[in-house]
Chains A and B, each alone.
Chain A
């Protein structure tokens, strides 16, 4: 299929947004990788709104840490979670471009407190980004976070377990799981690979990619797209 003219696409999108009144509050977006940016109406991950990440395993945390690492350039970032869970480990953060000095950890008693902390932080323009991990969330709580993110101009990431029902209040929803790496030439573990699916996004289409996280500073690299469940090289 021939690739549509990006200019025409952009104009059409603008018209649809105007009709649906879903135009993103902030036009600023974080560029992830060319293939992903193309699938997002904003030309990247939009800032100052909420994104849900359904994480099947620890890979979801890695994807979010990589995003936080980028957001940390705008201000310190918060990671909110329940006490006693597996906490982010400072010596391992730098590998995701996230400097431990820029990360503030909030240990909460329960999900409600995680959501409260996230909301407070999202309303604070001095913050670069807020990540929260909860077991479940309802639509009202999701809307509150979305509104707080818009009000404070801060980007929010919400990690949910696969069993949690997505709220639909977020601007986008992602599903992330680990994927087998390609073996390193010397026989050890290769670069980490994640299967990242954009499940829902206002004005976007569902897409799936195989990403590789390049620890040497290469960042997110798209290894292939997985749109029909089959890997296609990009």
Chain B
């Protein structure tokens, strides 16, 4: 297989901070008015981020608010909230998973702009090509109230440069075709290299204004003269050095998506969409002899919000009907809002599942049903919420049963002998005991009730497991267990600690 060239999208939201405020009520009316967010710098109020109208009036980030007001007395201001901006940017990164499961937040800049990375390798064909994919993303972002620019290239560096220096007001996306970065980006200013301001200034002073000016220079002197940053950024731009970026969410091994020409809202339609996604993924899992252990469904609403539903299975499964049932309940609760435009399904964890196993898994419909039931309950109660007891070699009664998954194969079935209670308390509970002659239990009080002992049987001495302890056990590390019946026939499993120690309730006989 030929290694695919990576294709990276850089999305730039130059006015994230102000767009976030004016995209919906109550501030939607300020969209066309000069607007700035402000923050306090060394005791004085300064402009943090501006919208287009404010910028047109000559107001820019970092300007003292008083100066800005002098330029435009009608300037609207709002306190800057970088935390909210980052939340919005993160939500947008999540929203972008409709295009590719691999998305990441690049940066939230001080001037209120934000950047996102999308790895679109092998994704464009799903959207009728790269140009159509970028156009779709920009149109939808604009629909949500966010101004955006997009760059698409072989490397993050080239995509970043394209988004900020090639895309413009008229054409808001720029595509650098495969292998064309060197040629197309040579004309861009050196600032397109993501350099620290000091390095950019130095280059400028020396007359090195364009990326093309740097290209013919030998690499070693370049690094020696301007520091590592310039040479590294140049290498990253051209793909000579890889630039690792971690996706915000783990990239699933299997992923499928569906988009709808018209947003859907009826539960039956959503369920049918899920069914199609499951069939697509299960076919791929079957080819690789894998089964799903964890899946995540993403529902992309028309207003830009994303609903996600995750389910897990007790053993690898690739039966679409089984998996659909696990989603059914939560899917029924999802609010479609203005409609769902796209759905993605990711298999986040897998396990080997041979073809024969899949066939054997349901020799009768009954066995398959049980696995489904256990998965359904496990998704609601958690993994430790549905268990089966398996024996553990130990003398300690409270350790004798280990909780295992009900779908785990049974290896050991030998349980300790001896009369044991039907129920065990989560932990031994202290009881107030009254004894005769300091030995014979005659009465005890437990859970606010007094019981008179009618009959007792014991003791059964159970020693502490000294071989588990680091230090030798204390002399009272033995328990003397008694079966006790009270006047009404109720039966208890009590023990007395050590030699002449306190009494504890540990279990209930029926």
Report which A residues bind B (CB closer than 8 A): 57-63, 65, 75-76, 83-96, 99-101, 103-109, 113, 116-117, 120-121, 124-127, 177-181, 183, 188-189, 192-194, 213
Contact = CB atoms under 8 A, between A and B. Distances in A.
Contacts of B369: 124-126
B366 A125 contact: yes
Contacts, number: 173
A209 to B, nearest CB: 14
A59 B389 contact: no
B367 interface: yes
A97 to B, nearest CB: 12
A87 B489 contact: no
Q: Which of B372, B397, B425, B455 has the most C-beta atoms of chain A within 10 angstroms of its own C-beta?
A: B455
B373 A92 contact: no
Nearest to A189: B457
Contacts of B426: 84-87
Contact of A117 (B377, B391, B397): B377
A113 B380 contact: yes
A125 B374 CA distance: 13
A100 B415 contact: yes
A106 B386 contact: yes
A65 B369 CA distance: 24
A95 B420 contact: yes
Interface residues of B, number: 53
Contact of B381 (A85, A103, A108, A127): A108
A57 to B, nearest CB: 5
- Chain A binding surface, main DSSP class: mixed
B69 interface: no
A192 B416 contact: no
28 contacts: A57-B488, A58-B423, A59-B490, A60-B510, A62-B509, A85-B426, A86-B423, A86-B424, A89-B397, A91-B420, A92-B419, A100-B401, A101-B413, A103-B388, A103-B389, A104-B386, A105-B403, A107-B386, A109-B381, A124-B372, A178-B510, A181-B455, A181-B485, A181-B489, A188-B457, A189-B455, A192-B491, A192-B509
B415 A91 contact: yes
10 nearest A-B residue pairs (beta carbon): A62-B510, A90-B389, A178-B489, A92-B420, A89-B424, A188-B457, A58-B508, A126-B366, A90-B401, A126-B370
B376 A58 contact: no
A103 B401 CA distance: 13
A89 B507 contact: yes
A206 to B, nearest CB: 22
Given A60-B510, A76-B370, A92-B509, 5 more contacts: A59-B490, A104-B388, A107-B381, A178-B490, A188-B483
Contacts of A108: 381, 385
Contact of A61 (B376, B388, B423, B487): B423
B401 A91 contact: yes
A11 B422 CA distance: 41
B387 A104 contact: yes
